[in-house]
Amino acid sequence: MTRATEIQLNNHFSVVPSEFFGKDGGARFTHCGKRFSATKILSAALLSTRQNVLGGGCKTSYTDFEKELRFARSTTARNVAELTHGGAFKRDGQSKYAAAYSVDIKHGVPVYHFLRTEEFNGKRLSGNAVLYLSVLIRFYMNSERGQKYFIGGEKRAAKTLNVPQSTAHGIIDELLRSDCILRFVMHDGKISEGKGINADYLTVYVVNDKILKTVKSIRKAINKQKSDKEEFKKLFMLSAQAEPKPAKPKKGKRSIIAQWQSVMEEMQAEELTQDSKENISKTFACDFAFNQLKRDYVTTYNKYFAALRQSGGAASIETQEMEQRLDCILTDVLNYLLSHNIRREELPDNWKQFMRDLLNT
């Protein structure tokens, strides 16, 4: 990826562990019993993520905070001073900071920096709005989520961010006015325009599809780096400073790359080479049996989503039967290819997603 492409896509990110919200045993990340401010949380996330990605001894200057998060120098100075004096981070030298506590990066909330640096409907989002929007994005980018829609509401938002309900009200209003999210009401599994009023009529938040597409592109770009450690370094090197030596991974612990990839398993299918799909498509373009399987899959696929829309996204006997039918067709296609000189090593481990993409082309 060229430098120009990197800047255009803005694929920088930080990870906010749940402890930074002052919850889940994160009392050390509070001040006088209150949660850190949003800018302080984002600053801590930037420092801890850079340390995990670039290794110990990396430098994080005030310019980095300005370029990554659009923080003024006065804001950065205050946040860094409070984080170091409060004991959350240690200052090991000029622009060198190390986390004083280990945090759970794997299950943290990814915050994409373009949410802070770019304008939405003419304004940049506040820190709290970025944090809550990132929670919603993580939900919708999880292909294994248990429910289709994010159930929101001011009380739930306040609990998620560990803020007063009045603050949560302003955050939701900001995200709605910026067109970053849409709000619906869900009743009996179906959604319609409106706002939830009780446990039977729930509030649903949906992230703007343009934002989700941008996040998907960022994840795709990150996954396609040639060398994980070195390329991840380049994502954060914003100045001509010398790259620090990579920290040796501790034995028995997963690297930050492996941790990051574990939260975006749904993107693995996009790592498959387009050439492999094109070669199989060309080889079997005139194969009657293969095309019959392809037609069966597309027909069943369309019926499945029609039934899913009819049920408002809720699972039903009909949708479950069609899911089983789709899986059977995928297995049939795999066996057919293997019986016609396609080697198993030519296919990815996530062969089902490969077959889905192949049959939908």
pLDDT digits over 59-107, tens only?
Answer: 899 999 999 999 999 999 999 999 999 888 998 888 888 888 887 777 8
Please tell me the distance from the alpha carbon of residue 228 to that of residue 132, in angstroms, as a whole number. Answer: 29
Burial of 152 (0-12, 13-18, 19+ CB in 10 A): buried
Burial of 215 (0-12, 13-18, 19+ CB in 10 A): buried
Q: Is the pLDDT of residue 282 over 80?
A: yes
The residue among 72, 43, 53 whose CA lies nearest residue 235 is: 53
Please tell me the distance from the alpha carbon of residue 70 to that of residue 114, in angstroms, as a whole number. Answer: 10
Q: Is the pLDDT of residue 334 over 50?
A: yes
The residue among 58, 8, 24, 33 whose CA lies nearest residue 243 is: 58
Phi, psi dihedral angles at 254 (to 5 degrees): -75, 145
pLDDT value, residue 176: 96
The fraction of the chain above a pLDDT of 70, given in percent, is 80
Whole-angstrom CA distances from 249 to 55, 92, 244, 268, 275 are: 9, 20, 15, 23, 34
Q: Which residue's entry shows tokens 């994080």?
A: 60
Q: Which residue has the higher pLDDT, 243 or 106?
A: 106
The residue among 242, 236, 175 whose CA lies nearest residue 11 is: 236
Instruction: Output the 3-class SS for 262-282.
Output: HCCHHHHHHHCCHHHHHHHHH
Mean local confidence (pLDDT), 98-122: 88
pLDDT value, residue 23: 81
Mean local confidence (pLDDT), 219-240: 54
| Contact status, residue 95 vs residue 60, Cβ threshold 8 Å | yes
For residue 285, give both structure tokens.
């373009």
Whole-angstrom CA distances from 62 to 10, 69, 86, 242 are: 19, 10, 19, 17
pLDDT tens digits for 188-217? 888 888 888 888 899 999 999 999 999 998
Cβ contacts of residue 228 below 8 Å, gap of 6+?
A: 255, 257
Neighbouring-strand partners of residue 206: 182
| The dihedral formed by the CA atoms of 138, 144, 147 and 150, expressed in degrees to the nearest 10 | 10
Cβ contacts of residue 4 below 8 Å, gap of 6+?
A: none
Please tell me the distance from the alpha carbon of residue 195 to that of residue 183, in angstroms, as a whole number. Answer: 7
Task: Please give the single-letter amino acid code of residue 259.
Answer: Q
Q: Which residue has the higher pLDDT, 273 or 175?
A: 175
Q: Is the pLDDT of residue 256 over 90?
A: no
DSSP state, residue 59: B
Cβ contacts of residue 133 below 8 Å, gap of 6+?
A: 115, 125, 175, 180, 181, 207, 211
Q: Is the pLDDT of residue 236 over 60?
A: no
Average pLDDT, the chain: 81
Mean local confidence (pLDDT), 17-22: 90
pLDDT band, residue 128 (cuts 50/70/90): very high
| Contact status, residue 124 vs residue 179, Cβ threshold 8 Å | no
Mean local confidence (pLDDT), 49-67: 85
